[in-house]
Amino acid sequence: MRIVVLTGAGISAESGLATFRGEDGLWEGHHPADVATPEAFEANPTLVQRFYDERRAALTRVEPNAAHVALAQLESALGNDLYLVTQNIDDLHERGGSERVHHMHGRLRAAWCLACNERHVWEEALTDGPPCPSCHSSMLRPDIVWFGEVPYGMESIDQELADCDLFVSIGTSGVVYPAAAFVHYAIGNGKRTLELNLETSDTTSDFHESRRGPASELVPAWVEEVLSGRSG
């Protein structure tokens, strides 16, 4: 069985990372247009760099939870029959043990040089305009897909959704496109769909099955079901 898993902010929230939306969301005090668009970066690069520098630093204070670890166990069992795509820009999946993660919205711990187009693993702050390791220009930006930009690897995602047997959405709001449309694409191609979410999302009614609860409980239980089915 081939499975495509999409994860969103809800899976990382239990590790202590704030989601974008909600009462304590990252947008509190910042309108998205001020920190998450190419236009915002051009108008006020210091504000945007500082916003993502703070988020990058926050990663050092959190750890992967049981949901991340369970998905890594599923990858170990299924190999290439599991395609894990995440909307999250943190590295908790990798730190939880997953080795093949498609970050459709980019990664916090990466920088993109606008001068030479190279991308680099990046741990430090970008606010002070450090030089690019490749061309030494000071034109690095967060390697993040901002509003108005095209998510990474959409052709690969579309192909995986067309080839899978089951699409599973974990901890997503069902608000941000194109990820919110993955369930429609999967169903349109005759695939089974499952949602694991703390609350009802904007696309809950579109799934064949939806389960409610914390990701750290739902995901390990679901993974155990899959692995038991394979060994039974």
Q: CA-CA distance, 19 to 5, in Å (whole number)? A: 19
| 116 C-beta neighbours (distance < 10 Å), count | 14
Q: Is 208 a catalytic residue?
A: no
Catalytic residue, from 31, 102, 105, 208: name it. Answer: 105
Rounded CA-CA distance 203/132 in Å is 41
Strand order in the sheet with 166-170: 101-103, 82-86, 3-7, 166-170, 192-197, 209-212
Q: How far apart are the first and last CA of the chain?
A: 14
Q: Which of the residues are catalytic?
A: 105
